[in-house]
Chains A and B, each alone.
Chain A
Amino acid sequence: MVDLEYLKKSPWEKFAFNFTNYFKKLPSRLAAFFKSIPKLFVALWHKILSMFGLIGHAAKEGDWKTRLSFGIMGFGQVTRKQYLRGILYFIFEVVFIFYMVFFGWKYLVKLGSLGETAMIEVWDEAQGIYVYEFYDNSLLILLYSILTILIMCAFVCAWYQNIKGSITAQQILEAKQHLADTKDDIKALADSAYHKTLLSVPMLGLTVFTILPIIFMIFIAFTNYDTVHMPPKELFSWVGLENFVTLFGGGLSANSKVFANTFGSVLLWTIIWAFFATFSNYFLGMIVALMINKKGIRFKKLWRTILVITIAVPQFVSLMLMSQLLADQGLINRLLLSWGWIDDPIPFLTNGNAAKATIIIVNIWVGIPFTMLICTGILMNIPADLYESARIDGASPVVAYMKITLPYMLHVTTPYLITQFIGNLNNFNVIFLLSGGEPINNNLQYAGETDLLITWLYKLTVNQQQYGIASVIGLVTFVIVAVFSLILYNRSGSVKNEEEFM
């Protein structure tokens, strides 16, 4: 289709066109994505080759200072008056060697077996009892091995940078140019290297509290870490893909079938929940925003403030209150009973399907104020002359809504919708505080009828200590979220072409 034809269409048709076009292009985009992965590896390979090239170059062309830097990090820098850099490199090397010799090495060699002896009983003559001596702790072996590997990677990078810096410094001096000294380096930290200053602390936090734990849990998914293999009393060991097989129903035990069954139903409900929670909030919130912002409606600020109050009250308060009000013996049922409107308590949260409906409705109550705020902001941005010309052309408010407001909103808020959808896939609070995943269903393994993947993961970890399976569920959740983001996130669409809407 040529541009002119596209421009002639009404906004609504444009939206439909983009919508279908998007799904038509989906397979090719996914294919492109998977094709880009090998490309990434090729690029990485070239990068590594060029790194070796530089090291070879430094070994061949470097003077004695540069060559000594191969063994003594920072030597080339110190002898060229870059004292700060040189000393930092040297300290890092010394610390690294001490760390490896006295700490890291011990754990790394046991990574393959995750330990041989957990503990032994020793007869303590003095006290007259058996005492336990603990030896290998699989958990610590795994944790410190990962830490050691991360530190080794950091060391390799630093070593390479050290050589690179040394040979560059040598070349700069050979060309009789100015070489940055310590003073320049310190100055650069507030200017050309400012990102290092700003990002070092945030990245350290990210590494210790996000990257290291995630790598750890990925490894745990391949072990049999659970209640019967609990360090420090017991060891756990590598089991390969056994946990994955169990979860997907390929295992031989009866347990595996139940797990697969549970996984299927929890996954289904997670997706249904995310869909309804996202779209019900979105459309209802938009309608509320439209009503409040309609011309001629007074006390706009009052209506808005009333809704904002519900955001301000901590969510756990409102959710826990709701769970009590809606309980079988809760206020609402008691009131309805005493008024004679019902004969039996309504099982708001005790019947599986009713609980699901209740949760979605309560979530509407929780979520509408947010959507209302967001929509209000966007509605004000729709150019008023659009409506003006629509009115002159004789369009009714409904037509104006269908042809202007809705397409515009959908166009602008697509990223928001996607993040909402993904957030809802992992919405712990609403489910856990409202229903706790209940009602209990005996066909499900450690899960209730309204459990999402994330609350099931919580229960498996905290209550059942089935860490291996829980990690697999975590990984599966990640894959699902990643796939949804990949399918839904159309970077080339609404995000970049925001101006293209008209």
Chain B
Amino acid sequence: MENTKTKKLRSKKGAERTANTVIYIVLIVISVIWLLPFFILIIQSLRGEPGMSTSYFFPKTWTFDNYVRLFTETQFLTWYGNTLLVSVVVTIVQTIIVLMTSYALSRLRFKMRKPLMNLMLILGMFPGFLSMTAIYFILKEMSLTQSLFGLMLVYTGSSAMGYYICKGFFDTIPKSLDEAARIDGASRHTVFIKIILPLAKPIIIYTILTSFTAPWGEYMFSSFLMLGDPSKFTVAVGMKDWLSEENVNQYFTVFCAAAVVVSIPITALFIWLQKYYVEGVTGGSVKG
């Protein structure tokens, strides 16, 4: 009896071990698949041979020329500056707007609350690009096309619609905290500033992180708005141009170098703030 039990345990342990080994192998394969493109990106950015691709994996000549070309021959630095400026301003404005909207919709009770939420739900179902033509002409009337300020307006204009995740977080903060403060005579404004905001640090960081990274990857609006003025491009628009058929042979390695330069700070930021990002994503997705 005793014997069979230990045998069973031992065999179970053995099965467990094989299962774990298989999982480790799969995880390693996955890691390689997921990291390989970025590895290729770095290698290609250091490739000395020109052209879009080579028939061998590792370049024959290693060089930093692509980085030098990136900063001397191209307008990349301008684009980088543009994108940085836009994303910093967008981050500040968007975070404030999202926090205000979320607090109002989560904590305050007023007649238009439900209709407003339904309205934003319905507006969110329209494809974003549909309104671009109209926005373009509105901005043109204000002579703000091909201007970074116009782009900032486009990015921040409807940021109220991104309130879902933040409101979901505010909803989880116990109401009794507000009530206690209100009994002590605090106004709703005081409650927001002194009680809710300090507790909302994770979601504030999440909002900052997502709104900061969005302009770096946004192509649809910025390409339309900045059409024809390369000095106002964001990195995404400018770099896409390098991959057009007539440019790709000349600029592919430069593109890789630019991609590395763009990715490093954002990746560092993400890894640093990973915890908050995960919290925001998981919290928001479950509540919907």
Q: How big is the B interface, by class? A: 35 or more
Closest to A370 in B: B281
Contact flags B132-152 to A (C-beta < 8 A → 1, else 0):
111101100100000000000
A396 to chain B, nearest CB (A): 10
Contact between B154 and A209 (Cβ–Cβ < 8 Å)?
Answer: yes
Checking A209, A330, A454, A485 against B158 with a beta-carbon cut-off of 8 angstroms, the contacting residue is A209
Chain B residues with CB under 8 Å of A206's CB are 120, 123, 157-158, 160-161
Q: Verify if A203 is at the interface (C-beta below 8 Å from B).
A: yes
- Which of B97, B129, B227 is within 8 Å of A457, CB to CB? B129
The CA of A470 and the CA of B130, in the complex, are separated in Å by 8
Contact in complex: B288, A419 (CB < 8 Å): yes
B30, B129, B248, B266: the one contacting A324 at CB < 8 Å is B248
- CB within 8 A of B270: which of A139, A210, A311, A337? A311
Decide if B267 touches A313 in the complex (CB within 8 Å): yes
Contact indicator A374/B20 (Cβ below 8 Å): no
- Chain B residues with CB under 8 A of A378: 282, 286
Across the interface, A217 reaches (CB within 8 A) one of B57, B130, B286, namely: B130
Interface assignment of B114: CB less than 8 Å from any CB of chain A: no
How many pairs, one residue from A and one from B, have CB atoms within 8 Å of each other in the complex? 293
Closest to B239 in A: A320
User: In the bound complex, do residue B123 and residue A324 qualify as a contact, i.e. CB atoms below 8 Å apart?
Assistant: no
Tell whether, in the assembled complex, residue B137 and residue A139 are in contact, meaning their CB atoms are under 8 Å apart: yes
Pick out which of these stretches binds chain A: B37-45, B61-69, B70-78, B200-208.
B37-45
A471 to B131, CA, bound (A): 9
| B interface secondary structure, majority | helix
**Do residues B266 and A314 form an inter-chain contact, with CB atoms below 8 A?**
yes
Residues from chain A with a CB closer than 8 A to the CB of B283 are 377
Complex: how many Å from CA A13 to CA B98? 41
Determine whether the beta carbon of A209 is less than 8 Å from that of B55: no
- The complex places the Cα of A494 from the Cα of B108 at a distance, in Å, of 26
Specify which of B56, B128, B259 is in contact with A317 (CB 8 Å cutoff): B259
Whether A195 contacts B270 by the Cβ 8 Å rule is no
The chain B residue sitting closest to A377, CB to CB, is B282
Task: Determine whether the beta carbon of A213 is less than 8 Å from that of B134.
Answer: yes
Binding-face segment, A161-169, A260-268, A474-482: A474-482
Given that A209-B158, A378-B286 are contacting pairs, would A216 and B134 also be in contact in the complex, using a CB cutoff of 8 Å? yes
Q: Bits for A303-343, please: 1 = Cβ < 8 Å to B, else 0.
A: 10111111111111110111111010111011101100000
> Do A209 and B135 contact each other (CB < 8 Å), given the known contacts A190-B187, A306-B34?
yes
A318 to B41, CA, bound (A): 9
Interface residues of B in 182-208 (CB under 8 A from A): 187-190, 192
A contact residues around B30 at 8 Å (CB): 288, 307
Q: How far is the CA of A280 from the CA of B224 in the complex (A)?
A: 32
Q: Judge whether B282 and A373 touch: CB under 8 Å.
A: yes
Are B217 and A314 in contact, CB atoms less than 8 angstroms apart? yes
Given A216, A309, A478, which contacts B271 in the complex, CB threshold below 8 Å?
A309
Whether B282 and A324, one on each chain, are in contact in the complex, defined by CB atoms closer than 8 angstroms, is no
- The interface residues of chain A lying within 8 Å CB-to-CB of B187 are 187, 190-191, 194
A415 CB-CB contact with B under 8 Å:
yes
Residues in chain A near residue B277, CB distance under 8 A: 308, 311, 373
CA distance A211 to B157 in the complex (A): 11
The answer to whether A143 and B134 touch (CB under 8 A), given A199-B104, A309-B271, A314-B266, is yes
Interface string of B251-288 (1 = CB under 8 A from A): 01001100100110011011100100111011101111
Can you add 5 more A-B contacts, CB < 8 Å, to A288-B30, A314-B213, A474-B126? A202-B100, A202-B160, A209-B131, A213-B132, A320-B255
- List B residues at the A interface (Cβ < 8 Å): 16, 20, 23-24, 26-27, 30-31, 33-35, 37-38, 40-41, 44, 52-57, 97, 100-101, 103-104, 108, 110, 113, 116, 120, 122-123, 125-135, 137-138, 141, 153-154, 156-161, 187-190, 192, 213, 216-217, 219-220, 223-224, 227, 236, 239-240, 243, 248, 252, 255-256, 259, 262-263, 266-267, 269-271, 274, 277-279, 281-283, 285-288
Sample (17) of A-B pairs whose CB atoms are under 8 Å apart: A140-B141, A194-B104, A198-B101, A198-B104, A206-B160, A213-B132, A220-B134, A288-B30, A296-B16, A297-B24, A314-B266, A320-B243, A321-B256, A329-B52, A416-B286, A428-B219, A481-B125
Binding site for B on A (CB under 8 A): 139-140, 143, 187, 190-192, 194-195, 197-199, 201-203, 205-206, 208-214, 216-217, 220, 288, 291-292, 294, 296-297, 303, 305-318, 320-325, 327, 329-331, 333-335, 337-338, 365, 369-370, 373-374, 376-378, 412-413, 415-416, 418-419, 422, 426, 428-429, 432-433, 453-454, 457-458, 461-462, 467, 470-471, 474-475, 477-478, 481-482, 485, 495
CB-CB nearest 6 A-B residue pairs? A209-B157, A415-B288, A377-B282, A312-B270, A213-B131, A474-B130
